[in-house]
Structure 1
């Protein structure tokens, strides 16, 4: 059994296709297939059920693959320890970030981070939370920026800050007659939401109690994948939505007039870094964390520290 053979079976499990896995491992498909067959012969079991398309691991194969991933992470940790001792950060750094954070948080720090570590090639992907977790498990990204708690087995969470929610309403909406809003105000008709798959949608629905609208009103008027689209629709139409605080900081005056904070305790979401439990690039991830915290807007830091809060999941 060799590390290369473990690399090959993990690649097949990740891509569920022998040719694609071979390309990812920079070998020919016959070489990859032969080495996997050799490993299976040595173990006396089948790692993959080749009768199904796409190929899937057998029940025993699933346990072997989980162990193989741990072995490969441990092996890759050795040269990383040497690099960290020399403070020599280099190589790829793959980041997954949810869409309701990416355009509002990244601009504050990503340029400074790249400038400090020119030998690191930074790759950023916008992914929904489920995709972040899957890619962390498969070793396809190094770290995620998501809203927690996730309570996912094998995933380590490192909280960064708490981000308040604010209400955003159309000019004619009764919410704008108040200085602050409460959870009771959210039970009115006219809520606009993100599409399925966005954790922010779930948090808004939990806060608004969308499942309690038993009076026949249609609370879900429209769904979109973009907070900016929600804002523009409300500007031109009617209704209201909730926004994360970072999404409001660069708003023009006309839009800021449509924002309302919440009564205490203010609802917040917890933003965290997430990694696989046996994560690599530890010092680089810590440097990444420090860069984020050093460049958070003062308004957010002040808001996070102020008064009592209510975490929304």
Structure 2
């Protein structure tokens, strides 16, 4: 048994096709098949059911593949340990971030992080929550920044800050007559929402108890993944939307007059740095976390659980 054989079975599991896996590993299909067959003979099991297309792992094969992933990760971790001992912060870090955070959080830390660590290459992908989870579990991302908790045993969540929700309404909305709002004050028929697939949409649906009322919102269907678009819709077409705290800080003085707070306990979402449970780039990830926290308003880090309601 060797590391190459483990890499090959992981590749076949990911691609569910021997030829595609061989191309991914830059070897011939015959070589890949032979190496996997030798491993199966050594273990005296069948790792893959070749009678099915696409090829699938057997039940015992699934366990072997999962352990192979751990072994490969821990092998890479040996290299990281040496770098840490030498005090090096360098290498490539792939990061996924949800669209409702990216425009407001990235400018706060990205430039200073890259300046502080010139030997680091940061690869950032704007992805929805489901995509980030999948890529973390498949080890195609090193870390993700998204709303938590996720309740995934495969992932580790490191909370960064708590982002409060605010109502943003057009000037003629009656709710602006109030200083503090309750979720029930929002007319669901005048509420602009993000498209399906965004965690912020789900949080707003829960906040405004829309699960039983969403069918009423059928006069106009508009799909957008942009908070900026929601703001423009409110300003141009009337109505109301819900903004997270970092997006609020982009508003000008005139726009802030159209913002209302919710009554305490304030609704918030928890934002975390999320990593795979067998992650390897500890030094890089710790450096990234430190830089993010350094550039986040103190009150967003120090919110107490008793003063907030986490919306899931």
TM, length-normalised to structure 2: 0.91
RMSD: 2.3
- Residue by residue, what CA displacement relative to the aligned partner does 1:256-280 show, whole Å, maximum 9, x if unpaired? 2222111111111000011111211
Q: Show structure 1 runs of 5+ residues with no match.
A: none
User: Where do 1:278-297 residues align within 5 Å?
Assistant: 278-297=278-297
SS class of match (1:193): coil
SS class of match (2:83): helix
Change (3 A) 1:116 1:246: same
1:268 alignment counterpart: 268
Q: Tell me, in whole angstroms, the C-alpha distance in 2 between the residues paired with 1:14 and 1:238.
A: 47
- Shift in Å, 1:66: 0.8
Q: Tell me, in whole angstroms, the C-alpha distance in 1 between the residues paired with 2:257 and 2:292.
A: 29
- Shift in Å, 1:174: 1.4
2:177 alignment counterpart: 177
8 Å Cα contact 2:188/2:217 also seen in 1: no
Q: Tell me, in whole angstroms, the C-alpha distance in 2 between the residues paired with 1:297 and 1:219.
A: 39
- Residue by residue, what CA displacement relative to the aligned partner does 1:287-313 show, whole Å, maximum 9, x if unpaired? 1110001011467458x4698111111
- Residue by residue, what CA displacement relative to the aligned partner does 1:147-200 show, whole Å, maximum 9, x if unpaired? 111111121111111000011112222122222211221354222211221111
2:308 alignment counterpart: 309
Change (3 A) 1:306 1:6: closer
8 Å Cα contact 1:100/1:227 also seen in 2: yes
Change (3 A) 1:123 1:23: farther
- Shift in Å, 1:9: 1.3
- Shift in Å, 1:220: 8.5
In the alignment, does 2:129 pair up with 1:129?
yes
User: Where do 1:192-271 residues align within 5 Å?
Assistant: 192-213=192-213, 217-218=216-217, 221-222=220-221, 223-271=223-271
- Shift in Å, 1:83: 0.6
Change (3 A) 1:49 1:192: farther
1:190 alignment counterpart: 190
Moved over 6 A (4+): none
8 Å Cα contact 2:6/2:68 also seen in 1: yes
TM, length-normalised to structure 1: 0.91
SS class of match (1:279): coil
Change (3 A) 1:20 1:174: farther
Instruction: Tell which deviates more after alignment, 220-229 or 162-171.
Output: 220-229
8 Å Cα contact 2:97/2:124 also seen in 1: yes
8 Å Cα contact 2:181/2:261 also seen in 1: yes
Q: Show structure 2 runs of 5+ residues with no match.
A: none
Q: Tell me, in whole angstroms, the C-alpha distance in 2 between the residues paired with 1:149 and 1:137.
A: 16
Q: Tell me, in whole angstroms, the C-alpha distance in 1 between the residues paired with 2:102 and 2:240.
A: 22
Kindly tell me the number of residue pairs found equivalent between the two proteins.
311
2:71 alignment counterpart: 71
